Chains A and B, each alone.
Chain A
Amino acid sequence: EVQLVESGGGLVQPGRSLKLSCVASGFTFNNYWMTWIRQAPGKGLEWVASITNTGGSTYYPDSVKGRFTISRDNAKSTLYLQMNSLRSEDTATYYCTRDGGWFAYWGQGTLVTVSS
């Protein structure tokens, strides 16, 4: 059974940093691209970052480019999202997803609240 379990969310002040983790199980982690998607309270779904299966390439929207860094440790089957210079508009539930083109599997999400 495929499982994606996120952690690391919480309340953080504007301008500070936070690192999210996603532990994967039930599939060969290093065969798949992985993606973070977020959802602000009461809003729609927004792509945040993606990483190739080897970790050799990463992709970001302009809204987070230069502030967020996606990475992975294939030996630990773990995906990360380092978030720096956080803003109030980054407040959202962050989901880890298995890409592979079809986004078949999602974690339960971890809530990040950016507020003073």
Chain B
Amino acid sequence: DIQMTQSPSSMSASLGDRVTITCRASQDIGNYLSWFQQKPGKSPRRMIYGATNLAAGVPSRFSGSRSGSDYSLTISSLESEDMAIYYCLQSIQYPPTFGSGTKLEIK
């Protein structure tokens, strides 16, 4: 199975900060990487797919990038509504595997 190593596990940032979360894949996954946001009591919401594509309705302050086997989710200017847990997911092969999650808190 492909392992997705996500970091950090938690972080605290101030409103307006630039925030970056990273996932590293244990094997080549091409661009088959998605990012999800999950707020308490809610279902995961897809934010980014294909490593860099913004999902419909997602604010433009969110972006995705890739450098080799490292994939990043960046929030350019943190807003209070961005407080959530973020997960990456590889879907190039079965089983689909998730990162362990990053809990993002607002200072």
**Chain A residues at the B interface, C-beta cutoff of 8 Å:** 35, 44-47, 50, 59, 61, 95, 101-104, 106-109
Separation of A102 and B32 alpha carbons in the complex (Å): 8
Q: Which residues of A contact B89 (CB under 8 A)?
A: 45, 103
Q: Which residues of B contact A104 (CB under 8 A)?
A: 46, 49, 55
- Shortest Cβ distance from B85 into A: residue: A44
The count of residues in chain B whose C-beta lies closer than 8 Å to any C-beta of chain A is 21
Classify the secondary structure of B's interface with A: loop
**Is the beta-carbon distance between B50 and A103 smaller than 8 angstroms?**
no
**Chain B residues at the A interface, C-beta cutoff of 8 Å:** 32, 34, 36, 43-46, 49-50, 55, 87, 89, 91, 94-101
Task: Report if A46-B43 is in contact (Cβ < 8 Å); known contacts: A101-B32, A101-B91, A104-B55.
Answer: no
Separation of A104 and B94 alpha carbons in the complex (Å): 17
**Is the beta-carbon distance between B95 and A107 smaller than 8 angstroms?**
no
**Is the beta-carbon distance between A95 and B43 smaller than 8 angstroms?**
yes
Separation of A59 and B95 alpha carbons in the complex (Å): 8
> A103 contacts which of B94, B96, B100 (Cβ < 8 Å)?
B96
Task: Report if A102-B43 is in contact (Cβ < 8 Å); known contacts: A44-B101, A47-B96.
Answer: no
Min distance, Cβ A105 to any Cβ of chain B, angstroms? 8
**Is the beta-carbon distance between B34 and A106 smaller than 8 angstroms?**
no
Q: Which residues of A contact B101 (CB under 8 A)?
A: 44-45
**Is the beta-carbon distance between B87 and A50 smaller than 8 angstroms?**
no
Question: A44-B100, A46-B98 given. 9 additional CB < 8 A pairs?
Answer: A44-B98, A44-B99, A45-B101, A47-B98, A59-B94, A95-B43, A95-B44, A104-B49, A108-B43
A–B complex contacts, Cβ < 8 Å, 8 sampled: A47-B95, A47-B96, A50-B94, A50-B96, A59-B94, A95-B43, A104-B55, A109-B43
Min distance, Cβ B1 to any Cβ of chain A, angstroms? 9
- Shortest Cβ distance from B6 into A: residue: A44
Task: Report if A45-B98 is in contact (Cβ < 8 Å); known contacts: A101-B91, A102-B34, A103-B91.
Answer: yes
